[in-house]
Structure 1
Amino acid sequence: MPGLSFAKALVAGVALLCSAAPVAVRAEAKAASVLLISIDGLRPDDVLEAEKRGLKIPNLRRFLSDGTYATSVTGNLPTVTYPSHTTLITGVAPARHGIVSNTTFDPKQINYGGWYWFAQDITAPTLWDAAKSAGLSTANIHWPVSVGVPALDWNMPQIWRSGHADDRKMLKALATPGLYAALEHDCGPYADGIDEGLEADENRTKFAVRLIETKKPGFLTVYFAALDHEEHLFGPGTAQANAVLERLDAAVGRLVAAEMAASPNATVAVVSDHGFVSTDTEINLFRPFIDAGLIKLNAEGKVASWDAMPWPSGGSIAVVLARPDDAALTGMVAALLDKLAADPQAHIAKIVARAEIAQMGGNPQASFYVDLKSGALAGSFDPQAPLAKPSRYKGMHGYFPTLPEMRSTFLIMGKGVAKARNLGAIDMRAIAPTLAARMGTSLPKAEVAALNVAD
Structure 2
Amino acid sequence: MRRALPLALALLAPVLSAAAAGEARAAPVLLISIDGLRPGDVLDAEARGLRVSNLRRFVEEGTYATGVVGVLPTVTYPSHTTLITGVSPALHGIVNNTTYDPLQINQGGWFWYAADNKARTLWDAAHDAGLTTANVHWPVSVAATNVTWNLPQIWRTGHDDDRKLVKALATPGLIDELEAKTGAAYADGKAEDLLGDQIRADFGVEMIVQHQPGFMTMYFASLDHTEHETGPGSAESHATLEQIDGFVGELIAAEQQVHPDAVIALVSDHGFAPVDTVINLYRPFIDAGLVTLGPDGKIASADATPWGSGGSFAIRLARPKDAALKAKVKAVLDKLATDPAAKFDQVIEGPAIAALGGNPDASFYVNLKIGAVAGPFVNGNLPLAFPSPVKGMHGYFPAAPEMRSTFMIMGKGIPAGRKLGEIDMRAIAPTLAKLMGGSLPDAEKPALNFEKK
Give TM-score, length-normalised by structure 1: 0.94
Corresponding position of 1:86: 81
Corresponding position of 1:375: 371
Q: Write out aligned runs for 1:216-231 (5 A).
A: 216-231=212-227
1:255 to 2:251 alignment? yes
Give the secondary structure class of the aligned counterpart of 1:393. coil
Paired residues of 1:31 and 1:135 also in contact (CA < 8 A):
no
> In terms of mean alpha carbon deviation, does 419-428 or 299-308 score higher?
299-308
1:414 to 2:411 alignment? yes
Q: 1:341 aligns with which of 337, 346, 370?
A: 337
Measured against aligned partners, the alpha-carbon deviations of 1:55-110 in whole angstroms (never above 9, x if no partner) come to 00011111111000000000010000000000000000000001000000000000
- Tell me how far apart the structure 2 counterparts of residues 5 and 441 of structure 1 sit (CA, whole Å): 24
Corresponding position of 1:309: 305
Corresponding position of 1:452: 449
CA drift at 1:3:
3.4
Corresponding position of 1:24: none
Paired residues of 1:36 and 1:270 also in contact (CA < 8 A):
yes
Q: Aligned residues: percent identity?
A: 62
- Tell me how far apart the structure 2 counterparts of residues 306 and 348 of structure 1 sit (CA, whole Å): 22
Give the secondary structure class of the aligned counterpart of 1:5. helix
Paired residues of 1:75 and 1:274 also in contact (CA < 8 A):
yes
Q: Write out aligned runs for 1:357-436 (5 A).
A: 357-382=353-378, 383-436=380-433
Unaligned runs of 5+ in 1: 11-28
Corresponding position of 1:74: 69
Q: 1:201 aligns with which of 197, 220, 235?
A: 197
CA change 1:371–1:453 in 2 (3 A) is: same
1:326 to 2:322 alignment? yes
Q: 1:273 aligns with which of 263, 269, 275?
A: 269
Structure 2: which amino acid aligns with 1:113?
Answer: G
Paired residues of 1:276 and 1:395 also in contact (CA < 8 A):
yes
After TM superposition, where is structure 1 displaced by more than 2 Å over at least 4 residues in a row?
2-10
Corresponding position of 1:299: 295
- Tell me how far apart the structure 2 counterparts of residues 33 and 378 of structure 1 sit (CA, whole Å): 40
Give the secondary structure class of the aligned counterpart of 1:36. strand
CA drift at 1:9:
2.8
- Tell me how far apart the structure 2 counterparts of residues 436 and 66 of structure 1 sit (CA, whole Å): 21
Q: 1:9 aligns with which of 8, 22, 29?
A: 22
Give the secondary structure class of the aligned counterpart of 1:3. helix
Corresponding position of 2:135: 140
Structure 1: which amino acid aligns with 2:301?
Answer: S
Q: 1:123 aligns with which of 114, 118, 130?
A: 118
Structure 1: which amino acid aligns with 2:328?
Answer: M
CA drift at 1:452:
1.1
Structure 1: which amino acid aligns with 2:161?
Answer: D
CA drift at 1:306:
1.2
Measured against aligned partners, the alpha-carbon deviations of 1:381-440 in whole angstroms (never above 9, x if no partner) come to 022210000001000000000100000000000011011000000000000001001101
- Tell me how far apart the structure 2 counterparts of residues 259 and 109 of structure 1 sit (CA, whole Å): 43
Q: How many residues align?
A: 436
Structure 2: which amino acid aligns with 1:258?
Answer: A
- Tell me how far apart the structure 2 counterparts of residues 301 and 107 of structure 1 sit (CA, whole Å): 14
- Tell me how far apart the structure 2 counterparts of residues 270 and 8 of structure 1 sit (CA, whole Å): 27
Structure 2: which amino acid aligns with 1:418?
Answer: P
Structure 1: which amino acid aligns with 2:122?
Answer: L
Give the secondary structure class of the aligned counterpart of 2:16. coil
Structure 1: which amino acid aligns with 2:397?
Answer: F
Paired residues of 2:277 and 2:386 also in contact (CA < 8 A):
yes
Measured against aligned partners, the alpha-carbon deviations of 1:308-357 in whole angstroms (never above 9, x if no partner) come to 01100000000000010111111110110000010001000000001100
Corresponding position of 2:163: 168
Unaligned runs of 5+ in 2: 1-14
CA drift at 1:8:
7.2
CA drift at 1:4:
5.9
CA drift at 1:305:
1.2
Measured against aligned partners, the alpha-carbon deviations of 1:117-144 in whole angstroms (never above 9, x if no partner) come to 0000000100000000110000000000
Paired residues of 1:416 and 1:454 also in contact (CA < 8 A):
no
CA drift at 1:194:
0.2
- Tell me how far apart the structure 2 counterparts of residues 196 and 228 of structure 1 sit (CA, whole Å): 8
CA drift at 1:277:
0.4
Give the secondary structure class of the aligned counterpart of 2:329. helix
1:440 to 2:453 alignment? no
Give TM-score, length-normalised by structure 2: 0.95
1:65 to 2:65 alignment? no
Paired residues of 2:27 and 2:412 also in contact (CA < 8 A):
no
Give the secondary structure class of the aligned counterpart of 1:426. strand
